[in-house]
């Protein structure tokens, strides 16, 4: 079994309130959930309206498949980049259990 986790840091443009941040981040999370079979959530800096940290995870029996799916998700998020920019991506795969 292979578990791949991603920490994705987003810089939010022209956001001046937590409500505006939620209105930007929530659709990203919902679109990813509806199109890809991954877990995704905002995991840190919920009170900072300029930066958002998202956590993603995917589990399968193939390391190559994990990377393929995660890269598709990252490309998809990047294609949505209206009002935000991806400034950091950390990917780690844990193998075997």
Q: Quick: pLDDT tens for 37-71.
A: 899 999 987 778 889 999 999 999 989 999 999 99
Domain boundaries, the chain: 2-95
Quote the DSSP letter at residue 50.
S
Q: Quick: pLDDT tens for 2-35.
A: 999 999 999 988 888 888 889 889 999 999 999 9
CATH topology of domain 2-95: Alpha-Beta Plaits (3.30.70)
Residue 47 confidence (pLDDT)? 77
**pTM metric for this prediction:** 0.86
Residue 97 confidence (pLDDT)? 65
Cβ contact 84:9 at 8 Å: no
Cβ contact 83:12 at 8 Å: yes
Token digits of residue 91: 């990917």
């Amino acid at each position: 079994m292979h578990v791949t986790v991603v920490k994705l840091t987003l810089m939010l443009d022209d956001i001046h309130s937590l409500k505006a941040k939620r209105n930007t981040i929530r659709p990203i999370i919902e679109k990813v959930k509806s199109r890809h079979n991954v877990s995704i959530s905002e995991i840190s800096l919920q009170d900072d309206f300029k930066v958002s940290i998202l956590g993603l995870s995917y589990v399968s029996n193939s390391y190559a498949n994990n990377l393929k799916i995660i890269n598709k998700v990252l490309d998809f998020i990047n294609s949505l980049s209206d009002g935000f920019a991806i400034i950091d991506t950390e990917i780690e795969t844990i193998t075997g259990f």
